[in-house]
């Protein structure tokens, strides 16, 4: 029989909607991001998230903690069997390993570290247009999907010109584009392009690494007060109502719980307009035209 805490977890996991992708798969709209958590530290963080009902983990080879994520999955039983099927696991290819053969070799290593026999989504981490190899990389990604080792293929940080270039070379649009997106950096042109081409938008740094919690001179805080929720919950709810996939990161159990608990209230049109108006010219992260994560 399920205990009360099991029931609470089942309820939390069941509340998170799934977003239908252009390849027929469906991704939980909320995941846990694990950037800037070291390989030891990530183990309890992932275990706690799974305990709270998270069923989507967003990692990357470049975060240097795939082994720790793998240990957490093994310890909780989420790496095999029926439990594995309930989890959406994303990882990303290092920029330095783009290219056909190097991507295949890198993927083998990721799978070994994660202690799983497939990942749900494999992503190109940055477009690196100054050293473009995404067309070749994509062909390796397709092979991994054909071999059943990856379910969904995605990209991160692609601007429309990069999506078009990939499409010209491969005939494919990715299922997901993971981009920096939060109230003060809304990237409406990129979002619109993705929507027009059936590419789901996934917001990274959905709270601008915490900076947007104070956005607009108290705008977010005032909305939070009205609904008796936290500023983080207001921002995450805004993303959810916009249909965006989100991957907030927290190492704290109480914040992880909050970030999943965004289905008990709804924003008004006026509140949406007030948050929409916070859009600005300053990103929190890096510029895809010039950055490489190596
Ligand atoms: N594809 C890419 O190029 C790329 C780039 C950047 C990020 N990402 C992904 O996106 C994920 C999330 O982005 P992010 O980590 O940059 O930023 P974020 O999720 O917007 O913000 C995380 C920060 O907010 C704090 N926080 C979390 N929940 C909170 C809450 N309820 N109340 C108050 N503070 C809260 C966290 O602190 P504590 O941890 O101390 O609680 C942390 O400092 C990453 O972990 C990664 O998976 C991808």
211: Cβ below 6 Å to ligand 1?
A: no
Residue 3 pLDDT > 70, yes or no?
no
Query: Above 50 in pLDDT, residue 1?
Result: no
What are the DSSP E strand ranges found in 15-148?
18-20, 26-28, 32-33, 56-58, 88-93, 119-124
Q: How far is the CA of 249 from the centre of ligand 1 (A)?
A: 4
Rounded to the nearest angstrom, the distance between the alpha carbon of 34 and the centre of ligand 1 is 8
Q: How confident is the model at residue 115 (pLDDT cuts 50, 70, 90)?
A: very high
pLDDT, residue 292, reads 94
Which atom of ligand 1 is least distant from the CA of 233?
31
Beta carbon of 259 within 6 Å of any ligand 1 atom: yes
Cβ–ligand 1 contact at 206 (below 6 Å): yes
Q: Is 63 a catalytic residue?
A: yes
Quote the mean pLDDT of the chain: 96
Query: Residue 22 pLDDT > 50, yes or no?
Result: yes
**Binning pLDDT at 50, 70 and 90, where does residue 4 land?**
low
Q: Reply yes or no on whether the pLDDT at 7 is more than 80.
A: no
Specify whether the CB–CB gap between 148 and 172 falls below 8 A: no
User: What's the pLDDT score for residue 10?
Assistant: 76
Ligand 1 centroid from CA 245, angstroms: 14
* pLDDT band with cut points at 50, 70 and 90 for residue 280: very high
Strands 150-156 and 200-204: unpaired
Instruction: Give the residue, by CA position, lying nearest to ligand 1 atom 16.
Output: 205
Determine the distance separating the centroid of ligand 1 and the alpha carbon of 201, expressed in angstroms: 17
pLDDT in tens, 216-238: 999 999 999 999 999 999 999 99
Own/partner long-range contacts of 99-105 (Cβ < 8 Å, ≥24 apart) = 99/133, 99/136, 99/137, 99/140, 100/136, 100/137, 100/139, 100/140, 101/140, 103/136, 103/137, 103/140, 103/141, 104/140, 104/143, 104/144
Which pLDDT value is given to residue 11? 80
**Was 286 annotated as part of a binding site?**
no
Q: Mind listing the domains of the chain with CATH numbers?
A: 4-276 (3.20.20.100)
Digit-coded pLDDT (tens) for 246-269 = 999 999 999 999 999 999 999 999
State the DSSP H helix or E strand holding residue 49, giving kind and residue range, or none if neither. helix 42-52
**Nearest CA residue ID for atom 19, ligand 1:** 248
Q: Which tops the pLDDT comparison, 55 or 8?
A: 55
């Amino acid at each position: 029989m399920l205990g009360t805490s099991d029931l609470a977890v089942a309820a939390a996991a069941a509340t998170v909607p799934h977003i239908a992708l252009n390849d027929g798969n469906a991704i939980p709209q909320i995941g846990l991001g694990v950037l800037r958590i070291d390989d030891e530290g990530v183990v309890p963080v992932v275990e706690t998230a799974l305990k709270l009902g998270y069923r989507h983990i967003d990692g990357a080879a470049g975060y240097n903690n795939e082994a720790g994520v793998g240990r957490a999955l093994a310890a909780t039983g989420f790496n095999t069997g029926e439990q594995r099927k309930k989890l959406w696991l994303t990882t990303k290819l290092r920029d330095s390993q783009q290219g056909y053969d190097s991507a295949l070799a890198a993927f083998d290593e990721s799978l070994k570290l994660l202690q799983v026999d497939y990942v749900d989504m494999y992503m190109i981490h940055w477009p690196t247009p100054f050293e473009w190899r995404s067309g070749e990389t994509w062909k390796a990604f397709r092979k991994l999907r054909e071999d059943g080792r990856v379910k969904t293929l995605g990209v991160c940080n692609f601007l429309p010109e990069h999506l078009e270039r990939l499409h010209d070379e491969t005939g494919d649009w990715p299922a997901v584009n993971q981009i920096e997106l939060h109230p003060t950096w809304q990237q409406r042109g990129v979002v619109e392009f993705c929507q027009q081409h059936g590419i789901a938008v996934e917001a990274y740094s959905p709270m601008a690494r915490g900076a947007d919690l104070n956005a607009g001179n108290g705008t977010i805080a005032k909305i939070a007060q009205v609904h008796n929720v936290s500023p983080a919950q207001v921002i995450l709810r805004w993303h959810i109502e916009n249909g965006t996939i989100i991957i907030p990161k927290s190492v704290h159990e109480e914040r992880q719980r909050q970030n999943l608990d965004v289905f008990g209230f709804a924003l008004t049109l006026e509140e949406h307009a007030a948050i929409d108006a916070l859009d600005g010219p300053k990103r929190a992260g890096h510029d895809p035209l010039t950055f490489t994560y190596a």
